[in-house]
Amino acid sequence: MWSSVVAVLGTLAGAALARTAKRRGDLTQTLYEAVRESVTFLFNDSIATLDDRPDSIEVTFRSGHRRTFDIVIGADGIHSPTRRLVFGPEEPFHHHLGACFAGFTLPNHLGLSREGMLWNSPGRRAALYAAGSGGQVFGLLSFRRPDLPFDVFHDQEAQRALVAAAFPDECWEIPGMVARMRAADDLFFDAISQIRMPNWSRGRVALVGDAAYAPSFLTGQGTSLALVGAYVLAGELATHTDHAEAFDAYEKVLRPFVTLNQDLANEGDTALFPATEESLRKRNAALRALSALPAEPPHATYSALTLPDYE
């Protein structure tokens, strides 16, 4: 087997993370604090049925409550239940990128601080990632899997076995990571996939973020697309009196940007997840050649959209 490579990104990733890294929950908390006075939040409930009518939409919640709204925005992630209710099953929109991953936390026994470490062999990647300098790090085990393992999606023990079988290596941090993954109580397993839809709205329902156009973490752009999408959708709703026109305008403004960003994940052969010996060698050579982070974002795609000013 081709020898595996450990790429230590301490300096580069550390510099980037020290400036920008926040845990996902921190961002959620910041957004929540920003709107909690003006938005009504209903926790521990979800939409059970939608009844789209000519002049309103009636929502029945799982709790049994019923309410009538002008519109419904589904921002409920890659496996969006709102999308399923309105557009049908996920399969036609699910674009599998040929890999799966498992994420979990584990003790920071290497003392990582605002840095990440990557181990790669072609088609497989292990990562340890410290957003701060606390006692826990985030572990990620990703591996090529051309077909979707439908049989394990609802069986966590089968997920653990599948991931462990993909990482039999007795090297680097792999045995320890696999042992931790097997015992983790916060294991998160999924396919590395995108959502690609011909339309993001139907009737009085529109989708935003991963629910409509998940780009996968191979692009590093999911959060940006979700936030930019929410901004554009809100802006178009504020500047149109008719929701259908606003939904059309949202799609018109955003779709080219989404497509460019989704195309960054070119079937698993990206810098984050090289699938062949050659692409891995190229990726490592490119990393070694970097002596500092580029001053500007490395990819023009990231800033390909000039945000409209809706004021």
Ligand X SMILES: Cc1cc2nc3c(=O)[nH]c(=O)nc-3n(C[C@H](O)[C@H](O)[C@H](O)COP(=O)(O)OP(=O)(O)OC[C@H]3O[C@@H](n4cnc5c(N)ncnc54)[C@H](O)[C@@H]3O)c2cc1C
CB of 222 to ligand X, least distance (A): 2
CB of 278 to ligand X, least distance (A): 25
Strands 205-207 and 72-74: parallel
Asked whether the beta carbons of 127 and 207 are under 8 A apart, the reply is no
Our CB check for ligand X shows the closer of 2 and 298 to be 298
Our CB check for ligand X shows the closer of 76 and 236 to be 76
Query: Looking at 116, 222, 235, 268, which residue binds ligand X (CB under 6 A)?
Result: 222
* Residue 7 structure tokens: 């790429």
Strands 136-144 and 94-107: antiparallel
Query: Can you tell me which residue has the tokens 């000013």?
Result: 309
- Identify residues 32-51 at the interface with ligand X (CB under 6 A): 46
What is the size of the binding site for ligand X (CB under 6 A)?
18
The yes or no reply on residue 60 touching ligand X (CB under 6 A) is no
The yes or no reply on residue 81 touching ligand X (CB under 6 A) is yes
Name the strands in the sheet holding 72-74, side by side, starting at the edge strand that comes first in the sequence.
72-74, 205-207, 201-202
- Identify residues 155-214 at the interface with ligand X (CB under 6 A): 209-211, 214
DSSP 239-254: H-SSHHHHHHHHHHHH
Asked whether the beta carbons of 205 and 281 are under 8 A apart, the reply is no
CB of 264 to ligand X, least distance (A): 11
The yes or no reply on residue 75 touching ligand X (CB under 6 A) is yes
CB of 52 to ligand X, least distance (A): 18
> Which residues 6+ apart lie within 8 Å of 162 measured at CB?
100, 149, 152
The yes or no reply on residue 122 touching ligand X (CB under 6 A) is no
By beta carbon distance, the residue nearest ligand X is 222
CB of 307 to ligand X, least distance (A): 16
Residues within the interface to ligand X (CB under 6 A) = 46, 75-77, 81, 103, 140, 209-211, 214, 217, 220-224, 226
